[in-house]
Amino acid sequence: MDEIQWRFVDAGLDQLPPQVDDDEIVTVGGPIWDVVKVEAIGPLTLAVEFEDGLKGCVRFEPSFLRGHFAKLADPDYFVQVTAPHGAVSWPNEQPDMAPDTMYDGIKAHGMWVLR
């Protein structure tokens, strides 16, 4: 049997160094965190679906809406939510939200509440 040789590559797949062939790349574990669908379903509440099929809600408490997130208090702005690159975002990416923590919260509780 051939011996497996492991190599760490600190780059995206489109930025692999030339000495690493595609057939040598091994992906191990971890969920797919890309958001494929997002919709505002109520005041300060989103329904999200991830690439692996996980679905749940994100709820913003009014106390969370300060600084970078203050714009979300405007209902007309809040409903403009999208997920163009796998992350929940609003126009001009203001703000955008990392999907990994969102995924973990929804997987554990069905809802991720931001306080």
Contact 65, 80 (CB under 8 A): no
Contact 50, 35 (CB under 8 A): yes
Name, in order, each residue with C-beta under 8 angstroms of 13's C-beta and a sequence gap of 6 or more: 25
- How many CA atoms, within 13 angstroms, populate the side-chain half-sphere of residue 34? 7
- pLDDT of 76 strictly over 60: yes
Residue pLDDT, tens place only, 24-69: 555 555 557 899 999 999 999 999 999 999 999 999 999 999 998 9
Q: What is the pLDDT of residue 27?
A: 52
The single-letter DSSP state of residue 74 is S
